[in-house]
Amino acid sequence: MTETAGEGGRQMTGIKRKHGEEEKEEETVPTKRLVTDHGVKVASHYNSLQEVGLAARSRSRIFFMRNFNNWLKSVLIGEILEQVRGAGSRQVSVLDLGCGKGGDLLKWRRGGISHLVCADLAEVSVEQCQSRYNDMKRRSHFNEKLFSAQFITADCSKEVLSEKFDDSELMFDICSCQFVYHYSFESEQKADMMLRNACERLKPGGFFIGTTPDAFELVKRLEASDSTSFGNEVFKVSFQSKGSYPLFGCQYHFSLEDVVNVPEFLVYFPLFEHMAKRHNMLLVSKQRFSEFFKEKVKDEQHRSLMMKMMALEPFTAEVRGQPASDSRGEYSHAEEHCSRGSIKLPLGTLSQSEWEATSIYLVFVFQKMS
């Protein structure tokens, strides 16, 4: 793919770059092309996802990977809340940008926040998120004050979110954007509007946190593949071509078990960082999931949360309960680890395929400069 996608038929001057190469700017010849709004595809995909119960989720091939991702988000959210409180905020307000069905509502409740704004493109997801919140409120104990909340259906890469807030003066301590930001890299305008929505109502010192695929990792795996796709039994990433990667609109198709099956866009992180600076945001940290895991697992509290959330699959060399995959090769890394001896069993692990899928992602933290 060599073109950048623009909105409303507007042609953009593209800057093409091979990842890992020196920055080269070259002008693309303006061409006529069909403009598709991927937001519609993304919304209809997420709207059509069925809400499945706990029993069905626990039978999923990616049960542990989903728990692992949830653990990682919990740790990230917990640490950021600690920092916000450490800086003196008592009434913590949060914007969950691309909230989905409300997978993080419990994390916000545990974090004892005061107010939450949930926004998402997919109307059905927002409805489910709101009804989860209402259930939570109904079931909350008389002595527990659940945070207040507002739910907004909007394409946050096109619309100005702050115009929709119930409280027109509302400012946030945190904007959390989990597994969402890459959808906006379809065009510069969209990526910038998403950033504006994430950052314009952050208090000075407030945080913009999130998770998104690491473009370098995706391109590295693509270049190593002998076709235009790569993956395994749980996920598949397909590009249209390889060799040239425009900064915006570099589309690939991502599918993950029965959860995701949508077009996404590469987020070239140095550009993301540069754009964020224009919104007065400073990059505090950026870590691949593997790095984040290695660092956080050293902490006893994070480890016990990991057990509670079943974020790793218990592995014993001889007897395995019901492994997520029957394929023995999927656990050869764990077997090898056990064979080194003096390992306390069961060992916590993820199948090779799940690890390959989750290790595509990175965690980012930006902070608003005063």
Ligand X SMILES: C[S@@+](CC[C@H](N)C(=O)[O-])C[C@H]1O[C@@H](n2cnc3c(N)ncnc32)[C@H](O)[C@@H]1O
Detail the residues annotated as belonging to a binding site for mRNA: 69-70
Q: Which of 175, 180, 234, 365 binds ligand X (CB under 6 A)?
A: 180
Contact stretch for ligand X (CB under 6 A) within 7-15, 119-127, 282-290, 329-337: 119-127
Q: Which is nearer to ligand X, 130 or 157 (CB)?
A: 157
Q: Does 129 bind ligand X (CB under 6 A)?
A: no
Q: In what order do the strands lie in the sheet with 361-368?
A: 148-153, 115-120, 93-97, 172-178, 202-213, 361-368, 281-288
Q: Which residues are annotated as a binding site?
A: 69-70, 73, 98, 120, 155, 178, 183
99 touching ligand X, by CB under 6 A:
yes
Single residue of 71, 179, 289, 364 touching ligand X by CB under 6 A: 179
Reduce the DSSP state of residue 305 to 3 states and report it: helix
Q: Find, among 285, 250, 274, the residue nearest to 264 by Cα.
A: 250
311-340: contacts with ligand X (CB under 6 A): none
Cβ neighbours of residue 146 closer than 8 Å, sequence gap 6 or more: 109, 136, 137, 140
Q: Between residue 3 and residue 42, which ones bind ligand X under the rule CB under 6 A?
A: 39, 42
DSSP state of 5: P
Given the complex with ligand X, which of 228 and 359 has the nearer CB atom?
Answer: 359
Minimum distance, C-beta of residue 335 to ligand X, in the bound complex (Å) = 32
Quote the tokens at residue 28: 């693309």
CB of 103 to ligand X, least distance (A): 3
For residue 283, the surrounding DSSP H or E stretch is strand 281-288
By CB under 6 A, the residues from 132 to 171 that bind ligand X are: 155-157
Q: Does 103 bind ligand X (CB under 6 A)?
A: yes
- Which string of DSSP letters, residue by residue, matches 177-244? EES-GGGGGGSHHHHHHHHHHHHTTEEEEEEEEEEEE-HHHHHHHHHHSSSSEEE-SSEEEEES--S-
Which of the stretches 26-34, 133-141, 174-182, 315-323 binds ligand X when contact is defined by CB under 6 A?
Answer: 174-182
187's tokens:
């065009």
Is 93 or 349 the residue whose CB approaches ligand X more closely?
Answer: 93
Assess contact for 295 and 244: CB atoms under 8 A: no
Residue 349 sits in the site that holds ligand X (CB under 6 A): no
- 260 alpha carbon, distance to own chain's centre: 12
- Piece of 20-28, 120-128, 247-255, 276-284 that binds ligand X (CB under 6 A): 120-128
Name the residues that contact ligand X, by CB under 6 A: 39, 42-43, 46, 98-100, 103, 120-122, 125, 155-157, 178-180, 183-184
